[in-house]
Chains A and B, each alone.
Chain A
Amino acid sequence: MAEIVLDQVSKQFPDGTRVLHETGFTIHDGELFILVGPSGCGKSTLLNMIVGLEDVSSGEIRVDGRVVNELDPKDRNMAMVFQSYAIYPHMSVRDNIAFPLKLAGLPKDQIRQKVEQAAELLELGELLERKPAALSGGQRQRVAMGRALVRDPAAFLLDEPLSNLDARLRVQMRGEIGRLQKRLGTTMIYVTHDQTEAMTLGDRVAVLNRGKVQQIGSPRQLYQNPANLFVAGFIGSPGMNFVPAEIGPDNLILPFGSVKLPEGFGECTPQKLIAGFRPEAIGLDSSTDNGQSLAFSVTVDIVEWLGAELFVYSDLDLPKPSTGYANDLFDNGRITLVSRLGPEAPVRQGEQLRLRLNVRDIHLFDYETERRLAFGGDDWLD
């Protein structure tokens, strides 16, 4: 059990690469904390620093109030699953999983029992006597998990532990990890690329980009009240739609029309704005205009039918006299909009389609600072 505090932690590699910039946040005792971010943003580096494999360039890492910057990895008592698995090739699966227990000096029969428990949980029962070379990628990954899960550490650090598993095992293991964490109540930091894992598993999620924490919050907060453009675009799949926007005297001007300014948008004065809305904010135009929504036509480009839902990608031309900044951001004036429709929606490629966007679903972002300025709806509060 441990509360882990990162206090203005920076990391600079000897070759000058700055990977983390004054990162500060707290992982509460017993929490399942998710870390997401694009490849190369410093997630593994952060884990390595917490566990003591990389030293901290500046700032402090505290575990339960104690500064651990200089503490040896073995004295931090944390269990980690490496992104690269790092299982011991000259030991059998059983010996791999038993290794930390052996070092801890547990009696033989207890080791045996714990290893078999872990193996059962991870469906490794029949493979216990095999060497890693004779295992598949997913099986190796589960051995790596087993080696972490047999321990009783102060915290679990998992670096993309399920990335190599098939869909069934991934869903199952995700569930097992969640349950195990709840049962043990041990602090867990979980790094993932997977949207579903990030949204379903964690109590809180931190979004990291270019070595900076963009936002920390519950999955719902991140989804509904993203702090900036990056989080808005990163969380959710497919991502949020972005279009250039302007505030008129009493209306909001989007490339495909304008609509009465909802309350709350009045204070947004910067000239350069970006409007963002989720795919599900756009529906087929069937209702009548209530002054709170905006109807427009698009040409359907791609239709993705996923069984339970339908994603429609449609092209939109920016009007010619559009603002300069929009052209930088939106690739020569063309925007692709994604909308999430019901699976029975009668949509075919190449067709013209009437869509309707609800103003209450629009987020406004400052183009310069990329921060979110306003939201047509109500923010989610936990």
Chain B
Amino acid sequence: MQNRLETLFWSAFGAIVTVYALIPVAWIVSLSLKRPSDLNDRRFFPSEISFDNYRAIFKDAQFPAALWNSFGIALIATLLSIMLAMFTAYALVRLEFPGKKPMLVGVLAVSMFPPVSIIGPLFNLWRSLGLFDTWAGLIIPYMTFTLPLAIWTLAAFFRELPWDLDKAARIDGATPFQAFYYIIAPLAAPGVFTAAILVFIFAWNDFLFATSLTSTNAARTVPAAIAFFTGSSQFEQPTGSIAAASVVVTLPVIVIVLLFQQRIVAGLTAGAVKG
């Protein structure tokens, strides 16, 4: 009895939170599917489903270019950031070296730094270095600002790995690379995917750097591009296009998370060592 009530309570609670979080999303999806003339009809569901808004944003050269920029920049930033973070986290967890503690604290300090405070100087610096409005101009700050998060996530994860297994593999006749490939990498994969998804989402969703450090289709990403949408006439709000673009830009994140969800299973290392 107790158990049924408890289950009921938790399911109800979960349902409420989910609905609460999904209402804005549903609203945007609904808006994007309305005909431009129905936008202000004050109804939650579109009276007639139309894909005009989607057609419109893809007809404009701006949006596909922004989508391409977003993908490229976010992927490269994620790859670089995770790669660096993996080496750093490995060193922090596995090696003894002077200055280990200050380094961890320093990494944390970087993540506390408010990005908005360096936008101005960065703008000037990028212009004189020729990085303004380039992919590299966004990849570098994304990498920098996601590194602390990635390092801490990965370090926490690596710390939990049973490193005795690495030794066991070496004794079983594996080279260091084979030990890494057959034993450590499969066990570390969930942690790496978790960190990678976090980094990707940060880079994908960023608006601040994207608006300040880009000016054309050469490097402008979707969040920034949406802000520059115009209506079909100067008196019309681009609400429908913005809604459609928002839906399109959300899809990849959902797909990625769903794809990797099964890989992010906890407890994969259970049973490796005693105790």
Contacts and interface: CB of A to CB of B under 8 A. Distances in A.
Interface in A75-116: 77-80, 82-90, 99-100, 103-104
Contact of B271 (A77, A79, A103, A134): A134
Nearest to A137: B274
A89 B268 contact: yes
Contact of B274 (A73, A134, A164): A164
A78 B171 contact: yes
B172 A147 contact: yes
A37 interface: no
B273 to A, nearest CB: 4
B271 A86 contact: no
B164 A86 contact: yes
Contacts of A133: 267, 270-271
A17 to B, nearest CB: 14
B183 interface: yes
Contacts of A14: 96
Interface residue range, chain B: 20 to 34
B174 A74 contact: yes
B171 A53 contact: yes
Contacts of B173: 74, 77, 100, 103-104
A90 B187 contact: yes
B172 A82 contact: no
Interface in A144-171: 147, 151, 164
A131 B270 CA distance: 9
B171 A79 contact: yes
Contacts of A87: 165, 168, 271-272
B175 interface: yes
A53 to B, nearest CB: 5
Given A100-B173, A103-B173, A132-B272, A86 B168 contact: yes
Nearest to A87: B272
A135 B273 CA distance: 12
Contact of B170 (A73, A84, A88, A104): A73
Interface of B: 96, 162, 164-165, 167-175, 178, 182-183, 186-187, 267-275
Interface of A: 14, 51-53, 72-74, 77-80, 82-90, 99-100, 103-104, 131-135, 137, 140, 147, 151, 164
12 contacts: A72-B170, A73-B167, A74-B174, A78-B171, A80-B168, A85-B274, A86-B165, A86-B273, A88-B169, A89-B268, A147-B168, A147-B172
